[in-house]
């Protein structure tokens, strides 16, 4: 008798489960350690989306499971992804700040029947590793190519390229070089400096001696960027009229208060500025600021996460909550919507986001704060890096 | 020729900044025989206090520096009393474990209190901008760092070699029980030296903030650099640390100017070479 009651209960619980599922999304990102700020931005973007669009789709409830990966660590990334899929029964994997971490997960997607939504990792090749990868962030190629045109239009013919010696830096160097040479300019020298560089005076001297009219730079955001921009001013390069070009990683919003006057006038190209003027962005910034606590900490990974959630919600709608990775990915191919960063779409071929890239200049607002002011738009930019790796 | 001068000036400025930041560690490791991996954490506390004082309280630069140095010393007093006092004379492994633990705690607290973003210490107008040296320009605060470095080196050398306190300190280091038997109050000597070392760390953190910006992971990020300077110079030797900083600063700067793609190869090659020839550092004393 007792057993029958238990069985009946079990049947009810399992039966009702079929009607209203909990759909789990596993998010892997740096939530502690030196890159915790970026993880915080992931969470803010996700929280903002769920606050604006609710946590239920049809009868299904969406649940986010966060896993912390403080620094790039492919083995650990794979282990966390496997744990999320096997133990937590996550139907979607998302997040991933660093390229190696995202790369490490691609081999398990097919067998696990799980799509991967990359919310940041910016190397072009990731989307080619598995047909189940969709990316809602940007690639370094995508953001670095338009600045070459900007440099050329500014009347600069000779540029020296200075990048940190690691994956994204080399991507940026190649992207700029390809773009700039296509415009007819010349990269007179390309220097790769170690990631741990903290005194940039010798580099600045090198720039001066090269006779270039402009410098293209790529460094990871944070302390190195601050040191580089300060050295650029203090060693008289700005005064000498040597122009500064970079993708927007260098002037991300959370670094601007520290950069201060040193960054004024620096032009960067990027897919998102927190100051972007649109009703969608206003609503997003309001919700994300509330989620992150301190609005000054808000920067670009949040919008990648926000749009990533949009893609996942569309996938869940299309599959009706069933676990079918291929169907889910197919459903968002060609999907277009208005993101906080402007109009975007998922390219059906590459499954990478097509978006506007903006030229921005660091400007001082009336209240004394600094922001990236958008001054030019390059519409519907795909990822030129994919052509380059073929 | 101009290039040589240019590199020399950059090297000198970088070396002096390194010196100011690392000398406190040389004091704790050489004179107090404590492998203090939390040195960077104290430098970071100094940087945070100065940043808070200058930006949020609106104090002047000089006041911010003083507040940073004394504030950090005050914060370090309970840490010394409760934690460091247990590890004086303990095996190196115990010291490393204890101080790295302290470092992680301070990182966590800094992250919680001040957040993960970079903090700057606004310079007074007189230290801003750049000075023209004829053939090139150099940031004024670099010159200021050079002056401060030389002043710190001179002051410390005088205090350790020429004053009664220095004599007692050296006696306590060489043989604590004998010094105590002769009436030297070793506990006070140790406490004062520790406070001086922490104060120097904080001063270095503030002065070096233009080069090594203050953020929660400061304490770990630059730890290797500090340790290299101390081990190359010879723990506890002021002239040794000074020479080490200038040599390493020179090699690093030259390498970075001429062959940046080699990264820090030459820097660490020099470290290996020097340590092979002088296992106790350039001016290290045999135990």
What ipTM was reported for this prediction?
A: 0.76
Phi/psi at B146 (5° precision): -60, -45
Query: A146 burial class (0-12, 13-18, 19+ CB within 10 angstroms)?
Result: buried
Q: In chain A, what residues touch B218 (CB-CB under 8 Å)?
A: 223
* Predicted confidence (pLDDT) at residue A5 exceeds the cutoff of 80: no
Q: Give the span between the Cα atoms of B283 and B278, in whole angstroms.
A: 8
The beta strand positions in chain A, using DSSP E, are 22-29, 56-57, 60-68, 92-95, 116-118, 133-135, 158-164, 186-193, 214-218, 243-247, 267-270, 336-339, 342-346, 353-364, 370-381
Rounded mean pLDDT, B4-19: 87
Answer whether A223 sits within 8 Å of B221, measured CB to CB.
yes
pLDDT classification of A17: cutoffs 50, 70, 90: very low
Please state at what angle helix A36-53 crosses helix A301-319, rounded to 10 degrees: 40
The token pair at B117 is 């973003």
Q: Give the span between the Cα atoms of B41 and A329, in whole angstroms.
A: 47
pLDDT value of position A226: 86
Answer whether A254 sits within 8 Å of B119, measured CB to CB.
no
CB-based contact, B58 to chain A, within 8 Å: no
pLDDT classification of A13: cutoffs 50, 70, 90: low
pLDDT classification of A211: cutoffs 50, 70, 90: confident
Comparing alpha-carbon positions, the chain B residue that sits nearest to A201 is: B10
CB-based contact, B7 to chain A, within 8 Å: yes
* Predicted confidence (pLDDT) at residue A15 exceeds the cutoff of 50: no
Comparing alpha-carbon positions, the chain A residue that sits nearest to B114 is: A294
pLDDT value of position A42: 94
Give the residue, A235 or A282, on which the prediction is more confident.
A282
pLDDT classification of A18: cutoffs 50, 70, 90: very low
Rounded mean pLDDT, B158-165: 90
Query: How much is the mean pLDDT over chain A?
Result: 89
Residues of A with CB under 8 A from a CB of B: 33-34, 36-37, 40, 165, 191-194, 196-199, 201-203, 205-206, 209, 222-223, 226-227, 230, 234-236, 254-255, 257-258, 260, 294, 296-297
Q: Given CA atoms A49, A50, A54, A55 in this order, what sign does their dihedral have? A: positive
Q: Give the span between the Cα atoms of A62 and A91, in whole angstroms.
A: 10
Answer yes or no: are the C-beta atoms of A308 and A44 closer than 8 Å.
no
Helices vs strands, H then E, count in chain B? 13, 2
CB pairs under 8 A between A and B: 104
Which of A193, A234, A254 faces B256 most closely, judged by CB atoms?
A193
CB-based contact, B123 to chain A, within 8 Å: no
pLDDT value of position B220: 87
**DSSP summary character for residue A367:** T
Rounded mean pLDDT, A329-353: 93
Q: How many CB atoms lie within 10 A of CB A319?
A: 19
Answer whether A192 sits within 8 Å of B115, measured CB to CB.
no
Query: B38-88, pLDDT tens digit by residue?
Result: 999 999 999 999 999 998 888 889 999 999 999 999 999 999 889 888 888
Answer yes or no: are the C-beta atoms of A373 and A361 closer than 8 Å.
yes
pLDDT value of position A240: 86
Query: A366-390, pLDDT tens digit by residue?
Result: 888 899 999 999 988 888 888 776 5
pLDDT value of position B86: 87
Q: How many CB atoms lie within 10 A of CB A220?
A: 15
pLDDT classification of B202: cutoffs 50, 70, 90: very high
* Predicted confidence (pLDDT) at residue A139 exceeds the cutoff of 80: yes
pLDDT value of position B208: 87
pLDDT value of position A69: 92
The token pair at A196 is 């741990």
* Predicted confidence (pLDDT) at residue B103 exceeds the cutoff of 80: yes
* Predicted confidence (pLDDT) at residue A65 exceeds the cutoff of 80: yes
Query: A78-113, pLDDT tens digit by residue?
Result: 999 999 999 999 999 999 999 899 999 999 999 999
Query: How much is the mean pLDDT over chain B?
Result: 88
Answer whether A234 sits within 8 Å of B221, measured CB to CB.
no
| Residue to substitute from A190, A223, A229, A293, interface B, most B β-carbons within 10 A | A223
Answer whether A199 sits within 8 Å of B10, measured CB to CB.
yes
Rounded mean pLDDT, A136-158: 92
H/E element, B63: helix B61-79
Rounded mean pLDDT, A299-323: 93
Query: A8-12, A289-293, B48-52: which range is least confident on average?
Result: A8-12
Q: In chain B, what residues touch A227 (CB-CB under 8 Å)?
A: 210-213
Distance from CA of A166 to the nearest CA of B (A): 11
pLDDT value of position A317: 92
* Predicted confidence (pLDDT) at residue A7 exceeds the cutoff of 80: no
pLDDT value of position B285: 66
Instruction: Give the three-class secondary structure for A36.
Output: helix
Residues 6+ apart with CB under 8 A from B281: B230, B231, B232, B233, B234, B235, B237, B240, B244, B274, B275
Q: In chain B, what residues touch A222 (CB-CB under 8 Å)?
A: 118, 215
């Amino acid at each position: 008798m007792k057993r029958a009651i238990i069985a009946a209960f079990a049947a009810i619980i399992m039966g009702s489960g079929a009607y209203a599922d909990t759909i789990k999304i596993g998010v892997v990102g740096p939530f502690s350690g030196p890159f915790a700020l970026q993880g915080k931005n992931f969470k803010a973007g996700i929280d903002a989306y769920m606050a604006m669009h609710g946590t239920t789709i049809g009868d299904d409830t969406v649940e986010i499971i966060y896993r912390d990966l403080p620094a790039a660590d492919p083995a650990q990334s794979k282990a966390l992804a496997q744990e999320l899929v096997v133990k937590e029964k996550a139907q979607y994997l998302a997040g991933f700040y660093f390229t190696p971490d995202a790369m490490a997960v691609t081999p398990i997607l097919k067998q696990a029947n799980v799509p991967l939504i990359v919310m940041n990792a910016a190397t072009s090749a990731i989307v080619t590793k598995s047909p189940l990868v969709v990316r809602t962030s940007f690639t370094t190629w995508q953001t670095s190519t338009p600045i070459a045109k900007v440099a050329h239009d500014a009347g600069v013919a000779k540029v020296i390229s200075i990048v940190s010696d690691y994956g994204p830096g080399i991507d940026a160097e190649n992207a700029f070089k390809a773009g700039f040479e296509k415009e007819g300019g010349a990269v007179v020298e390309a220097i790769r400096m170690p990631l741990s560089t903290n005194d940039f005076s010798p580099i600045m001297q090198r720039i001066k001696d090269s006779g270039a009219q402009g410098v293209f730079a790529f460094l990871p955001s944070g302390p190195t960027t601050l040191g580089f921009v300060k050295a650029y001013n203090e060693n008289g390069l700005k005064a000498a009229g040597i122009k500064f070009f970079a993708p927007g990683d260098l002037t991300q919003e959370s670094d601007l208060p520290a950069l201060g006057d040193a960054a004024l006038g620096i032009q960067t190209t990027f897919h998102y500025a927190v100051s972007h003027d649109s009703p969608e962005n206003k609503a997003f910034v309001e919700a994300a600021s509330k989620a992150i606590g301190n609005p000054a900490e808000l920067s670009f990974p949040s919008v990648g996460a926000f749009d990533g959630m949009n893609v996942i919600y569309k996938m869940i709608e299309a599959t009706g909550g069933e676990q079918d990775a291929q169907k889910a990915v197919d459903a968002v191919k060609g999907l277009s919507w208005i993101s906080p960063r402007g109009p975007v779409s998922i390219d059906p071929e590459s499954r990478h986001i097509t978006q506007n890239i903006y030229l921005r200049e660091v400007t001082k607002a009336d209240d004394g704060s600094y922001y990236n002011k958008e001054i030019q738009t390059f519409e519907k930019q795909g990822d030129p890096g994919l052509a380059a790796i073929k | 020729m101009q290039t040589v001068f240019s590199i020399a000036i950059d090297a000198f400025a970088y070396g002096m900044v390194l010196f100011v930041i690392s000398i406190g560690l040389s004091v704790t490791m050489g004179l107090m025989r404590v492998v203090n991996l939390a040195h960077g954490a104290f430098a970071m506390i100094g940087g945070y206090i100065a940043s808070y004082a200058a930006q949020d309280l609106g104090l002047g630069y000089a006041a911010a520096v003083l507040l940073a140095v004394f504030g950090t010393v005050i914060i370090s007093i309970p840490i010394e009393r409760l934690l460091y006092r247990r590890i004086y004379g303990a095996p190196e492994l115990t010291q490393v474990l204890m101080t790295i633990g302290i470092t992680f705690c301070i990182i966590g607290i800094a992250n919680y209190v001040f957040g993960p973003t970079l903090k700057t210490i606004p310079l007074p107008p007189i230290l801003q901008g750049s000075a023209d040296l004829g053939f090139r320009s150099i940031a004024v605060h670099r010159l200021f760092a050079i002056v401060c470095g030389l002043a710190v080196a001179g002051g410390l050398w005088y205090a350790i070699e020429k004053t009664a306190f220095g004599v007692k300190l050296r006696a306590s280091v060489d043989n604590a029980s004998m010094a105590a038997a002769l009436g030297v109050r070793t506990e006070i000597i140790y406490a004062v030296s520790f406070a001086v070392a922490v104060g120097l760390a904080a001063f270095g953190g503030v002065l070096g903030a233009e080069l090594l910006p203050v953020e929660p992971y400061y304490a770990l990020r630059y730890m290797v650099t500090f340790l290299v300077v101390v081990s190359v110079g010879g723990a506890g030797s002021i002239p040794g640390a000074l020479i080490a900083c200038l040599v390493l600063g020179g090699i690093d700067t030259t390498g970075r100017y001429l062959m940046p793609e080699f990264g820090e190869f030459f820097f660490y090659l020099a470290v290996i070479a020097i340590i092979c020839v002088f296992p106790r550092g350039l001016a290290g004393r045999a135990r």
